[in-house]
Amino acid sequence: MPAPQRTDADSIRREFGFLTVTEVLQLCATQRILDPSSTLISAKVQLGEGNVFYPGIVLQVDGESSCVIGHRNVFHPGAFISAEHGGMILMGSDITLGPGSVQLRAGRADAVAVGDSARLSNGPVVTGRSVLGSGSQILGAVEADSVVLVDGGDFASSPPEKRGAVLKGAGLVSGVRLAPGYLLQGFGDFSAAGVVRQTD
């Protein structure tokens, strides 16, 4: 007669490649995890120090993929990071994901890179071969596929024309390259949206 299958939470976590609750608790020595029992972190994720994890965060990386995260990033509830089938996620430091759900997804041959002090909030999904430079922002339910937002100062820096590039609104944006100091805002059809200079 076959042995009964274990159904405790730690066994299920291991089956899906995540750290156990005890292992997540051990990360609290270098991370700020508000609710370890609701935080799912793949054993393959490489973490810097001082990252803040609110409840309901998922960092999912399969055996063929990689995810490297820097320091002092803030993951608000609903942040979902996924690298599968050879995909790669690279995050710098002092990045804010949220409030509102944020997804970074890298599949086969994809790589998503997010630079220092970037800010993503209120529903963006980033896929493909995307580079979000330092200080860049994606605000709203934007599906950004293989976009490049060029480096600049963060959202609070001055003058605004030297801030990182910004995507804002809702809808699909694909293959766009946006220079620092510029904003592309659209609702539904970004191809019809005009690029404007950032202002205070």
Q: In this model, does residue 155 exceed pLDDT 80? A: yes
The verdict on residue 189 lying in a domain is no
pLDDT band at 2 (very low <50, low <70, confident <90, very high): low
* Total number of domains in the chain: 1
Q: Determine what percent of the chain is predicted with pLDDT higher than 70.
A: 96
Which residue range is the domain that position 31 belongs to? 11-182
Domain harbouring 42, CATH code: 2.160.10
The verdict on residue 52 lying in a domain is yes
pLDDT band at 5 (very low <50, low <70, confident <90, very high): low
pLDDT band at 4 (very low <50, low <70, confident <90, very high): very low
pLDDT band at 190 (very low <50, low <70, confident <90, very high): confident
The verdict on residue 153 lying in a domain is yes
Q: In this model, does residue 161 exceed pLDDT 60? A: yes
Residues 63 and 83 sit within 8 Å (Cβ to Cβ): no
For the four alpha carbons of 8, 84, 171 and 121, in that order, the dihedral sign comes to: positive
Q: CA-to-CA distance for 197 and 139, rounded, in angstroms?
A: 16
The verdict on residue 194 lying in a domain is no
pLDDT, tens digit, for every residue of 14-35?
A: 999 999 999 999 999 999 999 9
* Phi, psi dihedral angles at 50 (to 5 degrees): 75, 15
The verdict on residue 4 lying in a domain is no
The verdict on residue 178 lying in a domain is yes
The verdict on residue 188 lying in a domain is no
For the four alpha carbons of 64, 65, 71 and 74, in that order, the dihedral sign comes to: negative
pLDDT of residue 7: 60
Name the residue type at position 128.
G
Query: CB-based contacts of 104: which residues, under 8 Å, 6+ apart?
Result: 80, 81, 82, 89, 91, 97, 112, 114, 126
Taking all residues of the chain, what is their mean pLDDT, rounded to a whole number?
Answer: 94
**Tokens of residue 190, six digits:** 């970004």
pLDDT of residue 8: 82
pLDDT band at 187 (very low <50, low <70, confident <90, very high): very high
pLDDT, tens digit, for every residue of 53-73?
A: 999 999 999 999 999 999 999
The verdict on residue 33 lying in a domain is yes
Residues 56 and 37 sit within 8 Å (Cβ to Cβ): no
Q: In this model, does residue 95 exceed pLDDT 70? A: yes
